[in-house]
């Protein structure tokens, strides 16, 4: 069967004729509409890039093993960056038709901006020193962690301890459960937290801290339950009405708290 090609003389007429939606949206709904509009623009941009490079065999040429695979990855990343940094205007056009506003006017939505997790008590915790290599790697992300701490009300040393326990400071860590990056985010959690590139250290840390903040609020500021939910999922915490009876989860909580005790002591001595 031959491919059917559509000829559109006015590329914008479908958007121009889109009926105006008069209903008002709250901040969370606007964020979702904005994300959908940007994702559509990113997809369209990816298709444009693919179309423009077809004659040359793709971005990496037609020779060599696996080039189609790398082409797809690079096209998706490039289109996402273009949509974020230099949008072509389609996302804004869609968003305007839906809300009557511009994406430029969209205010960032924070998760409880005034939320501050309670100070964690470490008196009865035994400190454990992480490996020297993991501590060295962690230093690269001090500024990002500090910002995430301020954004989401989570102690910076707790964020650091979770990173040490999850990935030992390796931004390319990938688990059997398909958790990715410094704070080992699975795709669904990353998406829910607004993370577009899970391999970007800044986005990964912001997303992980944001999720930690959510778990703290969900479990009334109880650090053990928040960490249990981060490790085993809130469904298991709710099911067992507390810390799940999993050795992995119990050891995880103990390790994070022990790392935090060590980091707190180092701060006191510096």
Show me where the domains of the chain are located: 13-105, 132-269
Q: Would you state the pLDDT for residue 62?
A: 54
Higher pLDDT, 250 or 91: 250
User: Which residue out of 166, 203, 224, 264 is catalytically annotated?
Assistant: 166
Average pLDDT value over all residues in the chain: 80
Which band of pLDDT confidence, cut at 50, 70 and 90, is reported for residue 144? very high
- Residue 63 falls in the annotated catalytic set: no
Q: In the structure encoding, which two tokens stand for residue 105, read together? A: 């006017």
Q: Tell me the H-state helices in the chain.
A: 13-16, 27-53, 67-85, 90-99, 132-139, 142-152, 156-167, 187-192, 201-218, 223-232, 234-240, 247-269
Q: Is pLDDT at 228 greater than 70 in this prediction?
A: yes
Taking the complete model, does pTM exceed 0.75, yes or no? no
Q: Would you state the pLDDT for residue 105?
A: 72
Supply the CATH classification number for the domain 132-269: 1.10.530.10
């Amino acid at each position: 069967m031959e491919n059917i090609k559509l000829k559109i003389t006015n590329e914008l007429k479908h958007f121009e004729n889109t009926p105006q939606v008069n209903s008002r949206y709250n901040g969370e709904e606007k964020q979702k509409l904005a994300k959908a509009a940007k994702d559509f623009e990113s997809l369209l941009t990816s298709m444009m890039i693919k179309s423009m490079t077809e004659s040359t065999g793709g971005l990496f040429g037609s020779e060599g093993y696996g080039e189609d695979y790398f082409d797809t990855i690079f096209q998706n990343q490039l289109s996402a960056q273009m949509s974020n940094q230099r949008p072509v205007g389609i996302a804004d056009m869609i968003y305007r038709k839906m809300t009557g506003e511009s994406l430029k006017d969209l205010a960032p939505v924070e998760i409880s901006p005034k939320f501050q997790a309670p100070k964690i008590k470490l008196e009865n915790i035994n400190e454990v020193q992480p490996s020297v290599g993991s501590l060295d790697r962690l230093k690269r992300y001090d500024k990002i962690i500090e910002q995430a701490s301020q954004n989401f009300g989570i102690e910076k040393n707790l964020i650091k301890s979770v990173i040490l326990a999850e990935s030992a400071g390796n931004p390319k860590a990938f688990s059997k459960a398909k958790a990715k990056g410094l704070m080992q985010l699975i795709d669904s959690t990353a998406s829910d937290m607004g993370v577009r590139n899970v391999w970007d250290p800044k986005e990964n840390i912001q997303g992980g801290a944001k999720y930690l903040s959510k778990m703290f609020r969900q479990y009334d500021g109880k650090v053990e339950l928040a960490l249990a939910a981060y490790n085993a999922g809130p469904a298991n915490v709710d099911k067992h009405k507390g810390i799940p009876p999993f050795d992995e989860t119990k050891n995880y909580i103990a390790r994070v708290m022990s790392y935090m005790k060590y980091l707190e002591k180092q701060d006191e001595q510096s």
